[in-house]
Amino acid sequence: MAVSFAAVNLRTMALRSSSKLLRRSSHLLPPIHMQHSAPPLTRKISMDARSIASQLNRSGLLKTQGLIGGKWSDSYDGKTIQVYNPATGESIADVACMGGKETNDAIASAYDAYRSWSKTTAAERSKLLRKWYDLLMAHKEELAQLMTLEQGKPLKEAMGEVNYGAGFIEFSAEEAKRIYGDIIPAPMSDRRLFVLKQPVGVVGAITPWNFPLAMITRKVGPALACGCTVVIKPSELTPLTALAAAELAIQAGIPAGAVNVVMGNAPEIGDALLASPQVRKITFTGSTAVGKKLMAGSAETVKKVSLELGGNAPCIIFDDADIDIAVKGTLAAKYRNSGQTCVCANRILVQEGIYDKFAKALIDAVRNMKVGDGFGEDVVQGPLINEAAVKKVETLLQDATSKGAKVMLGGKRHSLGFTFYEPTVVGDVNSDMRISREEVFGPVAPLLRFKTEEDAIRIANDTNAGLGSYVFTNSIQRSWRVAEALEYGLVGINEGVISTEVAPFGGFKQSGLGREGSKYGMDEYLEIKYVCLGNMKKE
């Protein structure tokens, strides 16, 4: 069943390389009047980025080809696509633009490798994954620099993602040895019943641009640990981090074909993964719209599917909350990665008794946030990923203000130009505005008032999404009541950063299917087989 991926939104799909570093891209430059006023810092940053890219190229981690069957490969037709630095608009590298043919070869390679990889012992798989983890940590600085270069997040935040992403590989290495079956008491004396857990097979892993490493490792780690092999399709906006991680997997000794990477023509790659009967599972992080297409396309060959889709996270501030803790947690939940995460606080619900005090404290804190190139000192917010992302923020903000919302801070493009946007706080928002119904995916904090606990729960649950949510209160009783009432897969209480490799990550309703991370995430890559042994009477 062919499925069109042409309408893929900001949070999806992938691309390839011949390493022409940092060519100026005219169509990503700011308007002429902004070019003349660009601060000297921008030119200095550009030189720093050029130096970092050159260093990464010399280190061997700046890969620009796809990985098929353990070999680095150009696209078969020689086509390439450019990867840009969103902070400067400059081209970092040309990477291979692959399509259906390359994807089919990657699937065949993964299928061949599966026959031997699935037969290796859990202990052996664990050792190789541990080696991969060690290499990721040994190259933490280079991976973080590469991530900041192609994705734009501050370097300190990128370092945090490497720790987070590598943690999934370490956890998977440990869990590989704990995939237990079961013995069931038989209803008849001459029978023995037991349960085996076996790898599902070849996995197609489609990942987004906002977490270029962690979204790959939390899929690939458990897949390999369970005995599966993978074909990875990273986003075309950030393929370089994925390719560097794959290079380190090779160095760790993970056998050829167990990990493959293709990027480029998203519709062709997606259709090839869906059409192949050799691919037994699709795991995807991205938009709800694309997730639905993948789910429909997987039906033709009845693939197992894991989907981590869009969110509309409420952040509920009750009157009894500690203001300092609530502001700190809201900053982390809202502005991390410039607001470009699926669990970002999309609606900040503030009880009317604390609304004015909280709004003032939040504005004071946001005003002190330093915006700039991710390599800059003390920078806490980088650029948005591209021009389309900025326009989406502008559209949602314009809709809100036309319906009565008030911009309390920010609300416009940053003077740095390019795709930088001012950290923004908007008051008097209500549930009828698009900004309350759609993911902003930008540094905009919409404040909504509520009166009672029941009102907060009703407003929070009034959405098709159900991924992340946050609650700030000093009442233990209320924290339990609200956590149980929220229709969300994740609830943070008095904390704004709750993701970890040891806990299950996933959503309710249209935010997805299945879980990633923790022991529960391992089951997504396993089949359960029941075996009945009969005629056990004594001979």
pLDDT digits (tens, 9 = 90+) for 257-292: 999 999 999 999 999 999 999 999 999 999 999 999
Residue 39 or 193, more confident: 193
Total domain count, the chain = 2
Residues 461, 315 share a domain = yes
pLDDT digit string (tens) for 214-260?
A: 999 999 999 999 999 999 999 999 999 999 999 999 999 999 999 99
> Active site includes 308?
yes
Assess whether 215 and 352 both reside in one domain. no
pLDDT value at 47 more than 60: no
Contacts of 292 (CB under 8 A, 6+ apart): none
Write down the pLDDT at residue 188.
Answer: 94
* 284 Ramachandran zone, left/alpha/beta (phi>0; psi -120 to 50): beta
467 to 449, 471, 537: CA distances (angstroms): 22, 14, 52
Query: Do 193 and 139 belong to one domain?
Result: yes
Give the domain CATH number at 329: 3.40.309.10
Q: Is 442 helix (H, G, I), strand (E, B) or coil?
A: coil
Residue 3: inside a domain: no
pLDDT of residue 58: 84
Q: Per-residue pLDDT tens for 96-128?
A: 999 999 999 999 999 999 999 999 999 999 999
Q: Quote helix, strand, coil % in the chain, to nearest 5.
A: 45, 20, 35
Residue 9 is assigned to a structural domain of this protein: no
pLDDT for residue 481 is more than 80: yes
Active-site residue (options: 102, 142, 236, 308): 308
> Residue type for 50, please?
R
Residue 510 lies in a domain: no
Q: What is the pLDDT of residue 197?
A: 98
Q: Please tell me whether the overall predicted TM-score, pTM, comes out greater than 0.75 for this model.
A: yes
296 lies in a domain?
Answer: yes
Domain at 88, CATH number: 3.40.605.10
Q: Give the containing element (helix H, strand E) for 448.
A: strand 444-450
Does one domain contain both 279 and 407?
Answer: no
* Phi, psi (deg, nearest 5) at residue 334: -95, -50
Angle between helices 323-335 and 355-367 (to 10 degrees): 50
Give residue 40's pLDDT. Answer: 36
In a shared domain, residues 233 and 110:
yes
Q: Is residue 532 part of a domain?
A: no
Same domain, 298 and 353: no
d(CA 150, CA 219): 21
Q: Residue 38's Cα: distance from chain center in Å?
A: 32
| Claim to verify: residue 262 and residue 394 sit in the same structural domain | no
Range of the domain at 224: 49-308+515-522
Sign of torsion over alpha carbons 425, 428, 434, 438 = positive
